[in-house]
Structure 1
């Protein structure tokens, strides 16, 4: 029996390390399975696998380019002002868990991968029985699953330290699997409306945030309509006068705004900091001796526009294949379902300037909140991480602009930025992760999960039931709002629009 279990575990480890936690291959694998279930010729299935995998790899190049270029700049603020601080970034958060699990709880990070397996299988089961659960989305973003499993593992060990190893894995496996299924399910409506039936949901770190932004945006639009304005002004509807018209072009607007934004930060850090960063032996980007600081800032800022364009190309390359192939899975194995994928997939839809505007106003909110933490002598000072700074707030800008216009695209990411910093400071200090220099820091983990942590900490086992009950209730309430069209939204979006009278 032990040898059988060990064999199964080895197979799982191989699948987890090489496919599940490698989003490009996971997406390619899903496309391959979908086309095979549709009984397409092997060469068409192979082509679909390659196109989807390569497309996702292109997205990763753009995404990693954004993060790699600007993480040292934001980290430089920590070094420049000699702050002992917590960086809100998924990878810093994962490193904090890796470093702190043994020291704080005497547990191994290896259990995180077992937790991930339990949560993933439970997510699939919840969708398989969608007739009863009303859940329609499978969480497929493997790198995000690892980050969340790590932080969730820490949270449960902190909240209910009396749990044994098996109990921790089972309890948090169920709760995390529910969060993945429920959260990605909540994004289906706003994402289907944004993409006009793109056939996917978001499986990332701000799923509840996307649903909340969509709901608030709709309320803002209703308020505008009550005041007699029949339509809202979106960013794409604004025609700027004179020389400001150059901002109507996405790449130009992005380049100029990023030059101003990062130019100020890089100027504050100083030329000497970037000279020190220049290490040719391992390819770290920095300023060579004798090179122009101005053109270094310009090149770094323009790189933002370049990487964003690469990211959008990747999205366009793989989304079509994924949508078409997933019908094979939804028709046979997982009826009434869609795949949940990386949040970056939204950046190829809607107004492109909304991505930049969402990022900039979210950054403004974050920096103001960080200043407030310093003024009020918070025990934990937060350092902005690029991933929450950009990926949360950019998608909020896109969703808000699409539903309620330019004003919403500025206000909601700004508020999000404040919430990210304050929420991360509170939860990371309380659960003890701030001592290890990092916290996940994305929107849901600064809002929803702190609430869950309070419930679990003070109500124990009964709290587990309450959290699970809340998560199970959400899709039931969504279904009751429109039972006739709830599943039609993912099965046939054109028929859904016809039923709803949407042009």
Structure 2
């Protein structure tokens, strides 16, 4: 089981390559098409991951600098490391993941909810947070495995399904869903955007003067945003760059890296969609009729790229203001840290959904409201996970982890109280 978990389920290129291969074999494609389709799907996932890694490498120093300013007593290494909890409970997380996958596939096969969750790393992280919630609630052994597995299966099946109409409104393509913890923030953004926005006024139609037309390219805009962020953060916390580095040139290089990461990520997205969707039709037709794959959130960034950058900026500004207020009044009894990673990926997805429901205004207002909720969820979840993965949640929370984790903890405490 550990072999399968480590080498297949937590290895997205191999997982998606195998799924593409199965789909093509089921469709009785010739061997050349099977080999090419399987490898191209794996290549697409690797390219997508490479782009994401470049983006994260430019965001992380900003995140760490914020931690130094806002919460110097929080150990960055611990916050970015799940090793302590995994060392004690990793076996239970793995077993919960396996059980959850079995239940998840049964739900897809025998109910009207036809989601197949294919975001590889999230197949690990949801059992991780649910098992941690069970441990916080007093569970152990078989009970926490069952608990984590069942809740993971329900999330993998139902959250992408709940989001489907919002996603399809953006993509105009019902062949895939989104499987990512942006769920609650995207639903909030879409709900708000539909009521306050104007779909006829799109972020992709922003009237930019000809001399500034380069702003219409997401990689250029993203590079400039990151360059300016580094310079601003440097005035607050110089450790954002190395002691021997020049702030201007270092910021320029980080901007270049971020822009290149966006280009690579979007190329990987297009490549993956072109391979995995046709191959998945074989699984849908033969093994689980009507099944629809749920893929990582960058898949939809290509549809409204301007909205992603606008959402990132709106989320960073709004959430940082809310975090300053929360820390000043000690609302959660713990120092909160700006959520740079969540602001880009989860709120970027929320902005795309908001754009699909309400254009420019919908993307901005929907994401701003979602980012306020993001801060509240992060604070609550950090309190709930006080003895297990609190530091991890401070860095990667504010999303579905921070919503369903505390709910799971409440259920665990209820069950433990009733059954002992």
- What's the TM-score once normalised by structure 1's chain length? 0.77
Q: Which of 382, 385, 388 is the equivalent residue of 2:342?
A: 388
Q: 2:72 aligns with which of 68, 83, 86?
A: 83
| 1:16 Cα deviation from its structure 2 partner | 1.6
1:74 and 2:63 are equivalent in the alignment: yes
- Aligned pair in 2 of structure 1 residues 31, 154: CA closer, same or farther (>3 Å)? same
Which residue pairs with 2:133 in the alignment? 155
Q: Which residue of 2 aligns with 1:372?
A: 325
Q: C-alpha separation between the residues in 1 aligned to 2:348 and 2:86? A: 32
Distance 2:156 2:270 in 1: 24
- Contact kept, 8 Å, 2:308 with 2:348, in 1: the verdict is yes
The partner residue of 1:141 within 98, 115, 119 is 119
Q: Which residue of 2 aligns with 1:397?
A: 351
Give the secondary-structure state (helix, strand or coil) at the position aligned to 2:116. Answer: strand
Report the RMSD for the aligned CA atoms in angstroms: 2.6
Asked if structure 2 preserves the Cα contact closer than 8 Å seen for 1:364 and 1:417, the reply is no
Structure 2 residue runs of 5 or longer lacking an equivalent are: none
Give the C-alpha shift of residue 113 in structure 1. 0.5
Q: 1:313 aligns with which of 239, 264, 267?
A: 267
Relative distance call for 1:155 and 1:256 in structure 2 (3 A) is same
* Change over 3 Å in CA distance of 1:407–1:436 after alignment to 2: closer
Structure with max Cα Rg? 1
Residue 101 (structure 1) shift: 6.9
Q: Which stretch shifts more, 256-265 or 27-36?
A: 256-265
Q: Deviations over 1:233-281 (max 9, x none)?
A: 11122213575554334333223223223321133222x65224xxxxx
CA contact (8 A) 2:180 2:296 kept: yes
Specify the alignment match of 1:363 in structure 2: 316
- The runs of 5 or more residues in structure 1 that have no matched partner are 1-11, 225-230, 277-288, 464-503
User: Cα offset for 1:338?
Assistant: 0.9
Q: 1:92 & 1:426 partners in 2: Cα distance?
A: 17
Q: In the superposition, relative to structure 1, how do residues 461 and 32 fare at CA in structure 2: closer, same or farther (>3 Å)?
A: farther
CA apart distance, 1:99: 1.6
- Pairing of 1:161-200 with structure 2 (within 5 A): 161=138, 163-197=139-173, 199-200=175-176
- Which residue, 429, 442, 446 being the options, matches 2:402? 446
Say which SS state the counterpart of residue 437 (structure 1) adopts: helix
- Tell me the CA shift for residue 164 of structure 1: 4.4
In 1, Cα distance between the equivalents of 2:110 and 2:286? 13
- Counterpart of 2:384 in structure 1 is 430
Contact residue 86 and residue 381 of structure 1 kept, 8 A: no
Question: The residue matched to 1:297 in structure 2 has which SS?
Answer: helix
Tell me the equivalent position of 2:108.
Answer: 127
Moved over 4 A (4+): 241-246, 433-436, 458-463
When residues 192 and 177 of structure 1 are mapped into structure 2, their CA distance, relative to the original with a 3 A threshold, is same
Deviation at 1:175, TM superposition (A): 1.6
Q: Does structure 1 retain, via aligned residues, the 8 Å contact 2:118–2:179?
A: yes
Q: Does residue 1:203 correspond to 2:171, yes or no?
A: no
Moved more, 256-265 or 334-343: 256-265
Does residue 247 (structure 1) correspond to residue 201 (structure 2)? The answer is: no
SS of the residue corresponding to residue 247 of structure 1 reads: helix
CA distance in 1, matches of 2:417, 2:148: 12
Say whether the 8 Å CA contact 2:23–2:279 is kept in structure 1. Answer: yes
1:116 alignment partner, one of 73, 87, 97: 97
CA contact (8 A) 2:175 2:277 kept: yes
Distance in structure 1 (CA, Å) of the matches to 2:232 and 2:6: 41
Does residue 298 in structure 1 map to residue 237 in structure 2?
no
1:38 CA drift (Å): 0.2
2:241 is matched with which residue: 270, 274, 277? 274
Which of 410, 413, 416 aligns to 1:457? It is 413
Separation of aligned partners in 2, 1:260 and 1:420 = 24
Rounded to whole Å, the distance in 2 between the matches of 1:81 and 1:309 is 32
CA 1:443–1:329: 2 relative to 1, 3 Å: same
Could you tell me the TM-score, scaled by structure 2's length? 0.91
Q: When the two structures are aligned, how many residues end up with a matched partner?
A: 416
- Which deviates more, 415-424 or 66-75? 415-424
Checking the alignment, whether the CA contact within 8 Å between 1:251 and 1:305 is kept in structure 2 is yes
Cα offset, 1:345, TM superposition: 0.9
Matched position secondary structure for 1:354? helix
Separation in 2, partners of 1:293, 1:232: 41
2:286 maps to 1:332: yes
User: CA 1:314/1:442 → structure 2, altered by over 3 Å: closer, same or farther?
Assistant: farther
Instruction: Report if aligned partners of 2:65, 2:233 keep a CA contact under 8 Å in 1.
Output: no
Distance in 1, matches of 2:170 and 2:418, equals 39
